[in-house]
Chain A
């Protein structure tokens, strides 16, 4: 299957699935930092441990709140009792760290030997008195960021379904509101309260760094939309209340299982919106939320334009340039849509997994953006084949390839500019304020190369 640039409608191809990505257990690296009272226990082999140790680089030395339960030959052949072994390790964790929750990450090995983690967890939870959440984030089923999806889907079931406290108390104990009200007087708070429109409760899901959480919450507050809570919160003990019939909206494109769980198991209503990546995405995201809640946002067009204006210096660098996404973290469609709006031409959007229902609004915005920018509609390639992709890259000679570290240096040595895709996962890219950070990343190889242009050693193989 080959990509063509003359597509007129959005087509989604599928290849062999032979591509490079991170194992989904990597989600522990950012989730343990996000959920401050958690402990992540990855139940797997040396291979899993080796990956975490090398992929997480220096974080491993910062006494992280995660560890491997390394399976030995006796565990594989069931000479040892899984329950007793896990109990021993979890008691040790309780003694040393005293977390509010232990998250068990199931791996390929626990799948193959059919270790019943979901069955063991409630029993052990009752025995040691610490909640145990089970997420099967394994390489048999998922890619990279989908690991977070499996964890949040399990956590969604732990959210309380109604506020236990009185209304008055509820306001004061809500951690997010407390954060936003920090340092304000009682009068200030009351003014803020009255500025909210009367709408059903809204919970946002997706793990983001705290400054981005505050930023997006304030952005909605400007339009009178109150965010009742975030899944996940800073602490496991502060998981948001999700009442049946309340609204939920995702902030990242890889959270389809979490969305499904919230809708089916928690009876929440999902707001299908493009994701708040880039000023166009952020505006569409706020508009979709407003539309669902019956609030009309004011002054968004000006706000978006103002951001675009502030990006002009970077947009000049990439306008008319082409980009190829090899695909590994599921952010690809949103990023491609933003870059097309910036004036780039996208050849191919490789993506590990494409949930056309969860990403429906994002896909629609992509098609609309292509039309408005008069840009060719890119080929979306699910489960790509890296070998074939490299052949297509040779043929197309794109100005930029967004790819994993396995291919970046070899492509650079062949004179092809690359940007390491994993950086988009860890950088702050959401909301109006962070649009510049995305372009900072995208333009970096182009800026570097304009500095080296005259040296004459692009090809070094």
Chain B
């Protein structure tokens, strides 16, 4: 399963990179979203998959899944959500002010550098 997941994560990274290399600001943000999904899945996969039951002590199981990567991913999800939300509003405002969402047009000109 880990080998399959490695390829899935690779494809997520690939599409994320391709989107981030595009000119449209919206696509760049979608790319960062895909990239964070890939990173979260990578952390989970590297912790080992399906090595026991849900990490709840009430289950009284012999083996539990590693709880540490889950805690790390939970933190990462929240932080990436915060950053994505900020980034989205930034893109929205810059579209409002500059009238474009093409990053190639956003080069500083001599007047407003």
Q: Do A and B come from one complex?
A: no
